[in-house]
Structure formats: structure tokens, C-alpha cells
Structure 1
């Protein structure tokens, strides 16, 4: 088993350390939702959580470590929903309906925390497409496409579909071009249905 990323829960993390980590991540989520990703500094987080700045640095190492821990926390919750949650997002619905629900749920998530995702996408550059979070999304979408008997080069189709859900693109579409999350979701659904129609 590999070494956990900074800020992620390791197998031997004590219960009090896990509680402190959760307190800090909850406070970080509040800051991002209320004031945007630029407000997420180590000082601001320490003040919001009522702890010393040293505690924040010990837990996350740096602002970059904090951002990755926050995204990891968010991604884990989303992954649990589409892997084990109720249908249509989770198992039990037809694959096309699950794909549609996956995209719409992802867009809802981006509407709330899109700036955080966009900042991480920009910061990760070349790592974005080879990292574990993207790999899991790819595997999930590929599985559903195969279950729906989609034709063509599945890996290329997966990347093309996931590009529609890129945080940077979605934020541009909503905040610059003026599209709503519902319109972008309808576009996602149209693409999914075209891909699986023979």
C-alpha cells in the first residue's frame, strides 16, 4: 500500500487526528463556498477553525497540500455516491441513465466547488490525466459505455465525454458565456445519448 497524500487519511491515523482533519476540511469547504478559492489561505483556515497556524501546516504541509486534501475529500464522497449510492447515479439503473446522472451530479458539484477544481486542474498540468482521481472517473465512464454497448474507441470516447465536465470549461460556460448548469447538463445528456445510439 502506498504512502497517503499529505492531508489524506492513513491506515493508522488516530481518531482525534481524523476529527481534527475533518474539522479543518469542513472549515476549508465553508471558506471556498462563501468567498471563493482565493480566500483559502493557511491563515484564514486557522482562524476559521479556531486553531493555530502551525496546526494547519503540520496537517497539510502547504496551501497546495490543503487544496489537494480538500479535493481528495470531495472526490471520495462523490466516488462513493456513483459506486455505491442509490440509482440512477449508483448501481441499479440502466447504464445510459447512470451516465446521464453522473454528468449532472458532477456539474452540480462543480457549481459549488468549481473554482477549487479549476485551480487544481491548472496546478496539476500534466498530472491531471494520469492521476488516480481522473483514472477512476475514466474507469467508471468506460464501464458504463461498455455496458451500454457503445461502439468505437472507448478510451477516446471517455476522454471526450469527460472533457465536457472539465472544471475550467464549465466555469467559463457558466460565468462568461452565461449558460446554466441545466443547459450544460442537457448538452452532456445529448452527447451521451448520441454516443450510445447505433
Structure 2
């Protein structure tokens, strides 16, 4: 029984390390330039471990973005203010926009590659069908509706989120201008709320 727990702890450590080194590699290379062999070597695990855990390079990339988005999700659901449930809605909204920009800025190449992969598969899936997008949109909609009930909160949330996936914004993020984007999104949101 103890050995099974140790294996699970080792598997969890390996998963965290694989995701960490993948994110580091993505800071230097485009997703399509990263091989499973590179990831395995950098993480100090066998190539079979990476394939067994993630299935493919695309599976690894999807797991990475979901892991990073999950951290934001956890902060929203049970974290401290300003993201967590004990904060006032306006502070939560602005902090959440900052959090989304941070996730996108750290994973811009990954998001672009995932977007390309999704739109070139036989069965493309709409962005709003992705669980990360659904959570982000739902949370933004809820906060916007709470703060200004007369606003079309669902549409405004889609509009705010749509700014994060277009080429000019991704190029801006590649230049390291995530803070500029965060400030602009906060300004847009507060302008809508105060109008």
C-alpha cells in the first residue's frame, strides 16, 4: 500500500515537472519545435512516461494550458481576495481579467498552436465549447451581471474574451506587453460598468 502511494506521489511529481519544463521550453521555442524527447530529457523522465501520461505533443500542450487555467479557476473558487469569493464583485472582475491576461501571456504560442490545431481538425470545436472558455465566460458574465444588471453580460464577456485570441493581440503579447493589455481590458470593463 505504501509503495502505491509513493508511485502516485512520483507520478504527480513527474507530471508537475513535465508541465514546468514544457512551459520553459515554450518560452524559447514554438510548440511545433518542441519534441516529446526534449521534454522527457529536460524533465528527467523517460520518453515513454511523457507519452503514457499525455499521449501526444498536442495532448501535452492541452494539459499545460488546462493546468495553468485550473490554477486561476482554483483561485476564483476558493482563493483569497481579490480573486476569491470574499472580494467585492468589482475587485474580483478586474483581478480576474488580470489573471486571464497572465495565463494567455505566459502561454501565447501554445494558445495560437492549439487554436490552429482545433480549426484544422476534421471536427473543429467552437472556442465557447472549451471548458476553460466556458468557465472564463461564465465567471465574467456573472460578475458583469451582478455589477450592472442592465448590461448584456453574456455578450460583453464574449467581446472581452475575444480580444485575447486574435493575431494582433498575440503579437503584442509576444513583445511582452501583457501589462498594457491588462490595463486596457480593465479600462474597457470599468468604462462599461460606470457608463
Does 2:182 match 1:196? no
- Residue number among 31, 37, 58 corresponding to 1:43 in the alignment: 37
What secondary structure does 1:14 align onto? helix
Query: How far off its partner does 1:130 sit?
Result: 0.7
Query: How far off its partner does 1:48 sit?
Result: 0.7
What is the correspondence of 1:63-74 to structure 2 with a 5 Å cutoff? 63-74=57-68
Count the aligned residue pairs: 184
Change (3 A) 1:97 1:166: farther
1:87, 1:98 within 8 Å by CA — same for their partners in 2?
yes
Distance in 2, Cα, partners of 1:97 & 1:46: 41
Residue 153 of structure 1: aligned partner: 152
2:14, 2:43 within 8 Å by CA — same for their partners in 1?
no
Query: How far off its partner does 1:181 sit?
Result: 2.4
More helix by share: 2
Q: Aligned-residue CA RMSD in angstroms?
A: 2.3
Change (3 A) 1:86 1:166: farther
- Which residues of structure 1 form unaligned runs of 5+? 1-12
- Which residues of structure 2 form unaligned runs of 5+? 1-6
What is the correspondence of 1:53-132 to structure 2 with a 5 Å cutoff? 53-125=47-119, 126-127=124-125, 128-132=127-131
What secondary structure does 2:128 align onto? coil
Distance in 2, Cα, partners of 1:183 & 1:70: 25
Distance in 1, Cα, partners of 2:15 & 2:69: 16
Distance in 2, Cα, partners of 1:20 & 1:179: 30
Residue 181 of structure 1: aligned partner: 178
Distance in 2, Cα, partners of 1:135 & 1:22: 25
Change (3 A) 1:165 1:152: same
1:150, 1:196 within 8 Å by CA — same for their partners in 2?
no
Query: How far off its partner does 1:86 sit?
Result: 1.9
* 1:104-162 Cα deviation digits (max 9, x unpaired): 22222332222112222222234222121111111111111122024233221110111
What secondary structure does 1:165 align onto? helix
* 1:59-107 Cα deviation digits (max 9, x unpaired): 1111111111111111111111222222222223321222111112222
TM-score (norm 1): 0.81
